Amino acid sequence: MKGKFVQFVAGIIAGAVLVPTTHAAVQQLAATSSAQKFYVDGTPVQLEAYAINGSNYVKLRDIGEAVGFHVSYDGSTNSVYIGERPAAVQNTGTGYLTNGQPVTEENVLALLRQIERDWPTGTIWGTNKTPGTHKNEVPSTASGTIMRGYHVSNTYACGAYASMVSSLIFGDTANPGRRLEDLSQIRPGDIIFKVRNENNSIWHIIVALESPSNINTFRFTDGNVGGTIQWPDSESPYSNTDNLDCYQGEHKDYHLEVWTRYPESVPYTGASVGAWFTPNQKQEAMKCT
């Protein structure tokens, strides 16, 4: 609002239906035209004002026109808006992301890039014993259910970071997780558990940034790497790159278990293979022997 703050005792005279109970009550609410003058920043303004029970009542819309804010009414919702109307209510629930966009690989990638800007490489993220560490403070019902299934923390360390990233993309309770059996169909935003084969304990948890390539490589982000968050570095081609072949077959120390929050109605497209880096960035692949 421009100019000095102007105080008004204001009301909307909107033909309210009064149900009088006594003559005194009717007399108390009687309105007469106000004889007082009104000024905005020293300039006189004409306002249709009414004196009711010793106070001046002015139409809110008239005040808005006098001091520079817009007033509008939405009959469909019986709402009065002062200033700008809010943007249209975003789509929510299963099938939609936290920004109101439908669940697609492209839209998930866009949110992941925003998360990288908000939580860049080097941000402190460790265990509850790491000095100055960040922790998951995002409502994470759906992803937290996944974490509890593996008996890992939803507040600290790598599991909590993966849970937070998942919740920032897919929401708190919408888009519940489901186990992904075909690892070649990993998509951006999927949560990947690295599980020790000898005792089925969790070694590490990461979040996929792209689908595996034709030689099974893909990039990821993770937390609690030396007590920090890590993202792929285009100048270091092997950073935060992994390969499915490292976990498949005999004599492997670990295997992967993947959870996705893409609804089953959203098919895998393969459009996210090698999608994290732009074509002019280095994309050398890591092979696993």
Of 25, 55, 86, which one is at a domain's C-terminal end? 86
Q: Is residue 76 part of a domain?
A: yes
For residue 189, give both structure tokens: 């935003």
Q: Is residue 183 part of a domain?
A: yes
Q: Is residue 281 part of a domain?
A: no
Q: Is residue 56 part of a domain?
A: yes
**Residue tagged 């007399």 (tokens):** 27
Q: Is residue 92 part of a domain?
A: no
What is the Cα–Cα distance from 205 to 177, expressed in whole angstroms? 15
Of 86, 117, 146, which one is at a domain's C-terminal end? 86
HSE, CB side, 13 Å, CA atoms: give it for residue 180.
27
Cβ within 8 Å of residue 67, ≥6 positions away: 1, 2, 3, 6, 40
Q: Is residue 289 part of a domain?
A: no
Number of domains in the chain: 2
Range of the domain at 242: 105-260
Taking residues 149-158, what's their average pLDDT? 97
Write out pLDDT tens, residues 93-132. Answer: 899 999 999 999 999 999 999 999 999 999 999 999 999 9
Residues 115, 246 within the same domain: yes
Cβ within 8 Å of residue 51, ≥6 positions away: 31, 32, 33, 34, 35, 36, 57
DSSP-based three-state secondary structure for 149: helix
* Poorest-pLDDT segment among 43-52, 134-143, 212-221, 266-275: 43-52
Residues 39, 168 within the same domain: no
What is the Cα–Cα distance from 205 to 193, expressed in whole angstroms? 5
Q: Is residue 274 part of a domain?
A: no
pLDDT greater than 50 at residue 286: yes
pLDDT greater than 60 at residue 25: no
Cβ within 8 Å of residue 288, ≥6 positions away: 216, 243, 245, 246
pLDDT greater than 90 at residue 59: no
pTM for the full model? 0.69
Residues 247, 191 within the same domain: yes
Q: What rounded mean pLDDT belongs to the chain?
A: 85
pLDDT band at 30, cuts 50/70/90?
Answer: confident
* Poorest-pLDDT segment among 21-30, 111-120, 254-263, 269-278: 21-30
Residues 256, 196 within the same domain: yes
pLDDT band at 89, cuts 50/70/90?
Answer: low
Residues 235, 130 within the same domain: yes
pLDDT band at 270, cuts 50/70/90?
Answer: very high
pLDDT for res 284:
55
What is the Cα–Cα distance from 37 to 66, expressed in whole angstroms? 13
Residues 40, 116 within the same domain: no
